Amino acid sequence: MDDYVELKYGGKTYHLPLITGTEGEKAIDISRLRSETGLITLDPGYANTGSCISRITYMDGEKGILRYRGIPVEQLAERSTFKETAYLLINGRLPSLQELTHFSVMLNDHSLVHEDMKIFYQHFPRASHPMGILSAMVNALRSFYPALENLEEEINITVTRLLAKIRTMAAMSYKISLGHTPVYPRPDLAYCENFLNMMFHTPVRPYEIKEEVVRALEVFWILHADHEQNCSTSAVRMVGSARVNLYAAISSGIAALWGPLHGGANQAVVEMLTAIKEDGGDYRKAIARAKDRNDPFRLMGFGHRVYKTYDPRARIMKKMCDQLLDALNLDDPLLDIAKELEEAALNDDYFIEHNLYPNVDFYSGIVLRAIGIPTNMFTVMFAIGRLPGWIAQWKESMDDPMWKLSRPRQIYMGPVETDYIPIDQRG
């Protein structure tokens, strides 16, 4: 089999190396293209560009496959915990019992946030979006926890701090937005339980931890834990390539995730379903609008850059929705609308021709509503889940022998050289 492709240009033939991944995916290595040919490539949105070689997550968009470190996400959602999955992504293998226990102790030990941070939280305007607050506060962590001299120790402790504190910070922003006193993390509670308790416990109504709710949250976070080179992960890698500290790189990932085309879609789906419900429940209007080229409206929670079939995460999330609502004896009218909307879209020619299927966000908002998470915190929930993936990808890029400062090129189409005209001589 050929191990290069030929490029003919300017009367010359160039041999560009072919790279094959462990799952057979092929790529043309163009890393020397410009120095050898003077050419660059043009690829808006990087839809055809591999930005790195990675050993973390594999996805096949045509077959609907997602694996973390080789393990199918379905198996992790069935049998693992978010904490164990985070360890797997960051360290490259499943932990032993002893390693997992040590990891838990470390996460507990670092779960408090500096008391002075509360002052910052209290001064954000009440209408601030929690994603803006989270991004700012994660970036601010560097000021509270200056770098250690030993690089290895610094990375390990920063990773632990981020994983441990992000739940406390997220819950704290919610409590402060209600005007309540934040609830401190409890060492006797595991990762997910602790977060739920910090979110919902009040002195007048102690939070009752329900097994089904904890499991739903574990699965929600496992399903969001990594998704290879998506927009926010690419932001983390790109910003990280300037060798900023990890807090700053993660803060940029949170900012990217906020967008409605990315992590913000879970909030947008629930808003869309609510609008359909308030308009009498006729989901066909939404489908008609999504198909109308003159209308910018899109069916939120549908379509994906990589998946051209059913998103495997959406399948698990849909099942989780039914299980959780059943277990809690809840009836959410948005779930009925979502199911009808899904069925209508999957049978509609436009959606079939465009390969548009539900993505992870289509049902995840309904799971979060059942847990009691307010809509404006949905994307924060996604961010907590994606944190291990961002960290794993950042760590991999730090050790990458092919590492380079991210700096794409462009094709300039602006004015050619033009003389400056003094203001009194302009027409």
The catalytic residue positions are 304, 361
Asked if residue 104 lies in contact with residue 190, where contact means CB atoms within 8 angstroms, the answer is: yes
Asked if residue 223 lies in contact with residue 386, where contact means CB atoms within 8 angstroms, the answer is: no
Q: How far is the CB of 42 from ligand CMC (least distance, A)?
A: 16
Q: How far is the CB of 118 from ligand CMC (least distance, A)?
A: 31
Q: How far is the CB of 40 from ligand CMC (least distance, A)?
A: 22
Shorter beta-carbon distance to ligand CMC: residue 186 or 354: 354
Bridge-partner residues for 27, per DSSP? 19
Structure letter (DSSP) for residue 334: H
Asked if residue 361 lies in contact with residue 300, where contact means CB atoms within 8 angstroms, the answer is: yes
Shorter beta-carbon distance to ligand CMC: residue 130 or 263: 263
The Cβ of residue 261 has, within 10 Å, a number of other Cβ atoms equal to 12
Q: How far is the CB of 407 from ligand CMC (least distance, A)?
A: 23
One-letter amino acid of 332: D
Place of tokens 């739940």: 167
Give the three-state DSSP class for 164.
helix
Q: How far is the CB of 268 from ligand CMC (least distance, A)?
A: 7
Shorter beta-carbon distance to ligand CMC: residue 74 or 400: 74
Shorter beta-carbon distance to ligand CMC: residue 217 or 290: 290
Q: List CB contacts of 265: < 8 A, sequence separation 6 or more.
A: 300, 301, 359, 361
Shorter beta-carbon distance to ligand CMC: residue 151 or 352: 352
One-letter amino acid of 118: K
Nearest to 70 by CA among 53, 93, 49, 99: 93
Residue 118 in tokens: 């509360």
Q: List b or e across 390-401, with b for residues whose CB sees 16 or more CB atoms inside 10 angstroms.
A: bbbbbbbbbeee
In the complex, the residues that contact ligand CMC under the rule CB under 6 A are: 227, 230, 261-263, 265, 290, 298-305, 354, 356, 359-361
> Nearest residue to ligand CMC, using CB?
303
